[in-house]
Amino acid sequence: MIQHNLYENDFYTWSCQQAQLLREKKFDQVDWSNIIEEIEDLGRSEYRAFVSAIEQLTLHLLKWQYQKERRSPSWRHSIDKQRIQIERILEDNPGLQTRIQEAVSKGYKYGRKGASKETFLDEKVFPQGCPYTWEELVDEDFFPEGHQV
């Protein structure tokens, strides 16, 4: 019970304490239920970061494609930045390779909504499913051609 209170009230101290208990192999004193929850949260957090980077990338690619006249260096920078972020996430978490299609689908769904809000174009203007292949998304030289609205 004391560990649970510490977990709720002072996460930093709790995490240091749990690490020390694991180092000392005092497994009977470890707060296993919260340790398991935190480890699962770490994996979910990495996946969310992956989806978020895809969301931002697709949002800016859609803006690039559908508002050719408004293209700016900052849009290109945002596209480049998200591609680098995706590369880093996959380097650090190769297991996410198995979830690429799922992440693209989810990221595009939110990227499409964001592009609609930022461009003031109806969401229906943009394709329902991601119009870019995975290879195009991560290709630093890929920038979609303009599209007439």
Q: How many helices (H) and strands (E) does the chain have?
A: 6, 0
Predicted pLDDT at 146? 65
Ranges of residues in the chain whose predicted pLDDT is under 50: none
Q: What is the pTM of this model?
A: 0.83
What single string gives the DSSP state of each residue in 15-76? HHHHHHHHHTT-GGGS-HHHHHHHHHHHHHHHHHHHHHHHHHHHHHHHHHHH-GGG--HHHH
Torsion of CA 132, 136, 142, 146, to 10 degrees: -10
Tell me, what's the pLDDT at 41?
Answer: 92
Q: How high is the pLDDT of residue 3?
A: 65
Domain chopping of the chain, boundaries: 45-138
CB 96 within 8 A of CB 104: no
Distance of CA 18 to the CA centre of its chain: 28
